[in-house]
Structure 1
Amino acid sequence: MVAAGRPGTDGGAPARPGAGANAAPATTVARLRARLSGTLRDRARRVRGIGGLALQAGLAAALSWLVAHQLLHVSQPVFAPISAVSTLAASIGQRLRRTVELIIGVTVGVLVGDLLLTVTGTGWWQLALIVVLAILVALFLAGSAAVVIQAGATAVLIATLSPSVRDLEIPRFVDAFVGGAVALLVTAVLLPLSPLRVLNRAARPVLDLLSDQLDATAGALADGDIDRALTARTKLRENKDELRALIEATQGAREASTLSPVHWHERHGPVGRYAQAAAPIDRAMRNAGTLIRRAVTVIEDGEPVPEALPGAVADLAEAVRVLKRQFAAGHEPTEARARALRAVCSASDAYREGVGFSGAVVVAQVRTTVSDLLVASGLTQEVANRLVRRAFDAPERPAGDRR
């Protein structure tokens, strides 16, 4: 029989007065502090990430103004720095395209504006007509939002300022050319971004997300923890922003290594290999998602889980981490390939020990995801498939790349 405790106790030590009331505010303060700390870290990371872009934009704006004003004698070269900053504001990898779009948009706006002003004169309805036709022509010729915006903005300037400002068309052309050209000069020669750094910054969140959720899935399989597996499944699905950033970064790396003489030698080295990895990494994410969904079913249905099965998933997670490190260092990812093939060996062991239907799908997805990672590391699909089959059929611990 349990002895009755004093009021406010469970038969043990007496509760301190107000303990629960004090604990709640303390917990709230701790949570707010942690959230604030996380927010500050995120913002600091964001500033570090775009610090180079800010320097490029400032230098390009100043240089474009100097070139247009001092060398070309444009009296008020407002649109040259605007064009330069607009070019740099485009996604990395699309700046050359943005420069061409600026020039096309300005050309359309000037031609449509001049033609209609000659025919219709000036006025409010003429302004509306000029803008509508300039946008329609821009859509017909290019269909790009940047071209449409430039065409419409230039048409407004021509329609409203031409009656009071002489020879507005030539300065507008000059500004567009100067701004775009100076922006490209800054990004290619004066302050070029490191293509490898651009790729590392974008690939790190993708590969961290993949390895973390594979690790969580391995632990869930080992412990039979359905909640942990469900959480991993949900988190891996939330990868659209990370993948989009990686794809943009590959475009930026290609552009930087093509335009910048400083980085020409990297086009066919680490940057070239890294830039080609975006598509297979995307496939690896999707195949890993199927793996995790089936791992959830394995736990829900109580299927057998040989010790080698969570080991295979853990090896796969480690292969992703090693791939990230070797990519970041610019090294040939031989160690990542070996680790990935070790995951196939473990999956083969699990299959031979005996798995259920969903367990067999997990094994198959380990093989498929490893094949994707091998292609991401620079191997051809044919070589990757052959290495995976060899590791699965004759499980051993491969020492490295066997081309």
Structure 2
Amino acid sequence: MRRVRLTALPIVQSAVGAALAWWIATLPPIDHAQPFFAPIAALIVLGGGLGQRMPRVLELVGGVALGVLVGDLLVAWIGAGVIQIALVVTLAMVVAVLVGGGPLIVTQAAASAVLVVTLVPPVDGPTINLDRFVDALVGGIVGLVISVLLLPLNPVSAARRQIDPLLTTLAELVEEVADALVARDRAAATKALERARETQGDVDAMHSALEGANEVARVAPVRWRERGHLGAFLDVAVPVDHMTRNVRVLCRHAISLLQRDEPVPREVPQSLRALGGALRLLRIDLDRGDEPRESRLSAVAAAQMATEALEHTGGFAGQVVVAQVRSLAVDVLLAAGLSRDEVQELLPGLPEGPVSYG
């Protein structure tokens, strides 16, 4: 039921788009009796372009219409059959490439051309019939209007679905490293590293979703009021990207610390747990649209504890772990809306020495 609830709007978009495209194509002046390609084109645009950036949606519209047009013209000339399918696919893709289409428009042009040849072959001899091309344009335009004007996705919800689980995962990872250091469990630290390496796909999906959400917030009038709240998620994207990289470095050096049998000052796992708390608080404040004051306090506390542990570390790996805690605290503070100058003012100072961290 949760999955159904999350996909309720796309389902409604598709149902309304298919019905509306068919209805419009049957009205004068179009007045087509069986406008098969109108709802199909609408569904392709709404399904393939769901939450995507506008160029992708336009590519889908162009790909469907181009494929239908090429298919209709070629079938009227050479008829339908096995060899004709190969020729139609080839020429549809060549034309799509020649007009400068990307992979999406090329593939969609080929698929639409195949539908013309296989499902609705011409029955009136070599006469060129552009009805299906018009139907495809109607469906594509209906899909575009619905996704942008009538029933656009909520950009904040789209952003939240990507960032919330990523922040939760990062919080769990730093807490897992803390537990591994306390137990001196190298296997647990290695497992955390393996899990951290899997977050890159989530980061890429986050950037893609935020680009689409930002575009919806810009072009869809009914979503303009969401731009302020969405801005907080957009500001978080780069710091969260940095966090995932720093967590991977943290895991690697935690493993090295345990391999070298270096001491683990109690402040280090404490600082990591404070970081985990800061990440969880940041997620909650982002969802609510609140100023993340408590998240900032937890991040500063984490940096303070890590700095206190610096003089008790017994080797290079321990110092790097401390450095990564400070770096992660900086990332959290930047994600919490502070400038880099403000972050530097809040961070505790480091003891004098040849190397500085954070």
Instruction: Specify the TM-score bucket, using the shorter chain as the normaliser.
Output: 0.7 to 0.9
Q: State whether structure 2 residue 128 is matched by structure 1 residue 172.
A: no
Whether 1:46 aligns to 2:3 is: yes
> Structure 2 residue aligned with 1:60, among 1, 4, 17?
17
Residue segments in structure 2 that go unaligned for 5+ positions in a row? 352-358
Correspondence for 1:225: 185
Q: Which residue of 231, 247, 270 maps to 1:311?
A: 270
Please tell me the residue identity of whatever aligns with 1:208: T
For residues 91 and 343 of structure 1, what CA distance do their matches in structure 2 show? 42
Residues 1:283 and 2:242 are matched in the alignment: yes
2:355 aligns with none
Matches of 2:73 and 2:134 in 1, distance apart?
A: 20
Moved more, 324-333 or 149-158: 149-158
User: Which deviations, in whole Å up to 9, do the C-alpha atoms of 1:115-156 show, x marking residues without a partner?
Assistant: 6678x6446545533331221221343453331233224444
User: Helix, strand or coil: the match of 2:60?
Assistant: helix
Shift of 1:110: 5.6
- Kindly provide the CA deviation profile for residues 5-38 of structure 1, in whole angstroms up to 9, marking residues without a partner as x: xxxxxxxxxxxxxxxxxxxxxxxxxxxxxxxxxx
123-132 or 313-322: bigger deviation: 123-132
Partners of 1:86 and 1:328 in 2: CA distance:
31
Is this contact kept in 1: 2:72–2:129, CA < 8 A?
no
Q: Does 1:393 align with 2:349?
A: yes
Task: Give per-residue Cα distances to partners, 1:340-371, cap 9 Å, x unaligned.
Answer: 22211111111133442101101111122222
- The alignment's C-alpha RMSD in Å is 2.8
**1:104 matched residue in structure 2:** 62
Aligned CA distance change for structure 1 residues 77 and 117 (closer, same or farther; 3 Å): closer
In 2, the alpha carbon distance for the partners of 1:127 and 1:187 equals 32
Q: Mean alpha-carbon deviation: is it higher for 349-358 or for 319-328?
A: 349-358
AA partner of residue 255 (structure 2): V
Q: Which amino acid aligns with 2:146?
A: V
2:283 aligned residue (294, 312, 324):
324
Distance (whole Å) between structure 1 residues aligned to residue 41 and residue 277 of structure 2:
46
Give TM-score, length-normalised by structure 2: 0.85
2:205 to 245, 255, 259: 245
Q: Which of residues 256, 261, 271 is equivalent to 2:221?
A: 261
Instruction: Name the SS for the 1:305 alignment partner.
Output: coil
- Structure 1 unaligned residues grouped into runs of 5+: 1-43, 396-403
Contact in 1 for aligned 2:300/2:346 (Cα 8 Å): no
Given candidates 371, 384, 389, the residue that maps to 2:330 is 371
Shift of the alpha carbon at 1:90?
A: 2.0
Distance 1:307 1:173, change over 3 A: same
Following the alignment from structure 2 to structure 1, what is the Cα–Cα distance between the partners of residues 24 and 147? 17
2:154 maps to 194
Q: Percent identity?
A: 38
1:86 alignment partner in structure 2: 44
CA distance in 1 between counterparts of 2:224 and 2:151 reads 15
Q: Would you say the 8 A contact 1:87–1:95 is kept in 2?
A: no
- Within 1, Cα distance between the matches of 2:187 and 2:111? 54
By relative contact order (CA 8 Å, sep 6+), the higher-ranking structure is: 2
Separation (CA, whole Å) in 1 of partners of 2:161 and 2:64:
34
Once the two structures are TM-superposed, the CA of residue 181 in structure 1 deviates from its matched residue by 2.6
Contact 1:60/1:183 (<8 A) preserved = yes
State the secondary structure of the residue aligned to 1:392: coil
Q: Would the aligned equivalents of 1:291 and 1:362 in 2 still touch at CA under 8 Å?
A: yes
- 1:242-261 Cα distance to aligned partner (Å, 9 max, x none): 33432332123213212321
Aligned to 1:152: 110
Moved more, 105-114 or 364-373: 105-114
SS at match of 1:393: coil
Q: How many pairs were matched up?
A: 346
Task: Give distance in 2, aligned partners of 1:390 and 1:326.
Answer: 20
The 2-side partners of 1:248 and 1:84 are apart by: 23
Structure number with larger C-alpha Rg:
1
What residue number does 1:274 align with? 233
